[in-house]
Amino acid sequence: MGKRGAESQGGNKNKKYKQSGFIDPNTSGVYATCNRGREAGCRKELMNLLSTKCEEWYPDWEKSVGDETEQDEKEFSVEDQIKQELASLKKEKSAKTTLFSPIDLGCECLVFIKIRKPVEPAEFIRRICKEASQSREKQTRFTQKLTPITYSVSASIDELKKLAHMVLEPHFHQKEGQKALKFAIQVTRRNFNTLEKDDIIKTIATCVGHEYGHKVDLKNYDKLILVECFKNNVGMSVVSEYLPLEKFNLQQIFEKNMKENEASRVNPTKSENSNGESDEKKATLSDEDAKDTVRK
């Protein structure tokens, strides 16, 4: 009886935990995809990656959290100074933990990490992918595609318009020095049927406007507007270098680098012979010799 009751409670707890996977409006962060059953591993390694890069690229971000009143260390004994140092370290660790916080979505193959200021998700994720492409080092095992979310709102046309104006303005609506840009819109929907895809695209395209000469170009765009719809939440960001960085897919970036390394080892573009002449030059000389032979 006791065992059955425990199992029943465990099942209810598990069900309740899964049902809590909603993203609130005004949330910034990043979605990450992974293979089925690898969500926990993806969540853990992504948290580590984000925290590491935050410490590297935002070394002084803790100052914005709010400092306690500084006191002269000479007034404290050695023991008090040690306690104060430990308390300071504990505070910094707690602040870093709250800067990145995972939200369990209860959805297979999908992970979400909430990101707080001063980190800006779109630029932060682009920089992570750029570094992965340049360093050719694999820093994650389970994480695949990353989708940054600058802001998010509840799923409705009115809220979508507000979101679009807020996210698009820094990229498309600068009053001074705004250049005409080519853009595209990519909409992804998961467990979402509140708004139709075509309605989302038309609404956002209207918000981009044509007053600055912006045009739609689905292949050679300057900026890509990412729209991620999950349950009753719509998130948006504007990114660049999306295609060169393999659509922000860390796994594909690594695989591309592996293929390029293998190709450079197996088929070098220019190899030298024993006389120090390149094969390309040698082939040219051979062609000229052949022409001379024909003439003779």
What percentage of the chain's residues is helix, strand, coil (to nearest 5)?
Answer: 50, 20, 30
Task: Report residue 67 CA to chain centroid gap.
Answer: 30
Lowest mean pLDDT among 24-33, 95-104, 262-271, 273-282: 273-282
What domains appear along the chain, each with residue ranges and CATH number? 29-58+99-258 (3.30.2130.30)
Res 104 pLDDT > 60: yes
What mean pLDDT do residues 62-87 have? 52
Residues 184-215 as b/e (b if ≥16 CB within 10 A, e otherwise) read: bbbbebeebeebeeeebbebbbebbeeeeebe
146-168 pLDDT, tens digit each: 999 999 999 999 999 999 999 99
Please tell me the predicted confidence (pLDDT) of residue 267. 65
Count the alpha carbons within 13 Å of 139 in the hemisphere toward its beta carbon.
Answer: 21
* Beta-sheet strand order (sheet of 233-239): 151-154, 233-239, 223-230, 182-190, 215-216
Cβ neighbour number for residue 64 with a 10 Å cutoff: 11
Tell me the pTM.
Answer: 0.74
Please tell me the predicted confidence (pLDDT) of residue 11. 44
Distance CA 29, CA 9 (A): 32
Please tell me the predicted confidence (pLDDT) of residue 263. 75
Res 247 pLDDT > 70: yes
169-228 pLDDT, tens digit each: 999 999 888 999 999 999 999 999 999 999 999 999 999 998 899 999 999 999 999 999
What mean pLDDT do residues 73-88 have? 56
Cβ neighbour number for residue 165 with a 10 Å cutoff: 12
Q: How many residues does the chain have?
A: 296
Looking at the chain, the whole-number percentage of residues with pLDDT higher than 90 is 60
Res 92 pLDDT > 60: no
